[in-house]
Amino acid sequence: MRMGTIIAITALLASCASPPLPPSSAPGEPAAAGSRPGDAGPLPAPMLQGKSRWVAVRWAELPGFEEDALFEGWNAWLKSCERPGPVFAPLCAEVRRLSIASAEAQRNWMVSRLQPYRVESLQGAADGLLTSYYEPVLKASRQAGAGYEVPLYRPPASLASRKPWYSRQEIDTLPEARAALRGREIAWLADPVEAMSLHIQGSGRLSLTEADGSQRMVRVAYAGSNEQPFRSVTQWLLEQGEGRMTAPWVESTKAWAAKSPPQRVQQMLWSNPRYTFFQEQPLSELDAAFGPKGAQGVALTPGRSIAVDPGSIPYGTPVWLASRGGAGSLQKLVLAQDTGSAIVGAVRADYFAGTGPEAGQLAARMNQPLRLWVLWPR
């Protein structure tokens, strides 16, 4: 689980700057030319799902359905089948059997067993917003000193008894907050802006120097927060007249901090009261191919896992995603496996880009229009 993306720009602004997505079909319209066998007959009635309205459509409405490399999405689906919900659990044996099938066989099975529903807001809006997140890789030390002075903490014992817990500023300044965290340090980072990025993404990998000088890679995963409100540091800088931080925001904010007085940098960091606590996890060779565990409790698959509002789309649901903008065109099968505090609403998703600098650059560019179709058992 993450804290959400840095700045969520409205879908309207994103759509103004990006090419329009393909039009949606009208509810109940007849099968389009090129429809697959089995995709005929009356469509089911619309369904209400918490914060969203689902409208049944033909498979022909899904952009790129015939071209997607489905085996990549199948890897994420297999992960969801490790902890399936009651709706999809009965399909998991078939999903596993089809993991080595051809894309055509997988497509035929999807058409026969699943019904696509276009996700809309309760007011009928089908257009939304896609952002992205990733897993940073940062240098760290098991001991403080030699330039490593920014701690990453395990949750304090008093976290559950005091809600909200101390703010970021109070954690840095109040003796009682510092005392509650003493001995809870996992590791130390060199740069406070990189630490803030890790707090926002909610998980990451550490290239860690142990006390004996040996090196190893570990993962730090989200273990809780102080439940204070999240505020964007880049928005604070803009409001303070410091200018807009260009993407990737970590590099541009570090450049600003390098030429600013220390007290000004501290004000910037304290402008975001939200604080994240972590747990250390070993990182095996198999784990390295996947991301951290999302809110569903399964490891995220780069490029095939999304964070959603679970009040609109249940965890473990296969989803068809279509988006076009500055980060490119996406038309693919993804799985709803995570959430975030900024991921709110019916047509809203955060795309897990993967691990490391390239994934970070993609995530920084992605802020674009979105359409979603849930693929629900017939």
Domain locations along the chain? 11-20+29-132+290-377, 136-281
pLDDT score, position 35: 65
pLDDT at 6 over 70: no
Instruction: Judge contact between 156 and 170, C-beta under 8 A.
Output: no
- pLDDT, one tens digit per residue, over 17-49 is 444 555 554 444 444 445 677 788 899 999 999
Range 95-110 average pLDDT: 96
pLDDT score, position 286: 82
pLDDT at 69 over 60: yes
The CATH fold of domain 11-20+29-132+290-377: Barwin-like endoglucanases (2.40.40)
**Mean pLDDT across the chain:** 90
Strand order in the sheet with 185-189: 150-153, 185-189, 137-141, 204-209, 215-225, 276-281
Q: CA dihedral defined by 203, 209, 214, 218, rounded to 10 degrees?
A: 0
Choose among 272, 273, 277: nearest CA to 180. Answer: 277
pLDDT at 107 over 80: yes
The rounded distance, in Å, linking the Cα atoms of 192 and 233 is 12
* Confidence band for 299, pLDDT divided at 50, 70 and 90: very high
Does the structural domain 136-281 have CATH classification 3.50.50.60? no
pLDDT at 257 over 90: yes
Range 215-229 average pLDDT: 94
How many CB atoms neighbour CB 42 within 10 A? 7
- pLDDT, one tens digit per residue, over 114-155 is 999 999 999 999 999 999 999 999 999 999 999 999 999 999
Range 9-19 average pLDDT: 37
Choose among 133, 129, 131, 132: nearest CA to 13. Answer: 129
Range 196-219 average pLDDT: 94
Instruction: Judge contact between 366 and 353, C-beta under 8 A.
Output: yes
Looking at the chain, the whole-number percentage of residues with pLDDT higher than 90 is 81
Instruction: State the pTM of this model.
Output: 0.84
pLDDT score, position 24: 52
Range 260-281 average pLDDT: 96
> Measured at the alpha carbon of residue 82, what is the angle toward residues 354 and 286, in degrees to the nearest 5?
45
The rounded distance, in Å, linking the Cα atoms of 9 and 3 is 16
The Cβ-side half-sphere exposure at 45, using a 13 Å CA radius, reads 2
pLDDT score, position 5: 43
pLDDT score, position 34: 52
* Confidence band for 168, pLDDT divided at 50, 70 and 90: very high
Sheet strands (E) in 23-149: 47-49, 52-56, 114-121, 128-135, 137-141
Q: Which residues contact 239 (CB under 8 A, 6 or more apart)?
A: none
In DSSP notation, 14-33 reads HHHTSPPPPPPPPTTPPPPT
* Confidence band for 285, pLDDT divided at 50, 70 and 90: confident
pLDDT at 288 over 70: yes
281-310: burial string, b at 16+ Cβ within 10 Å, e else = beeeeeeeebbbbbbbebbbbbbbbbbbbb
pLDDT at 276 over 50: yes
Range 219-232 average pLDDT: 94
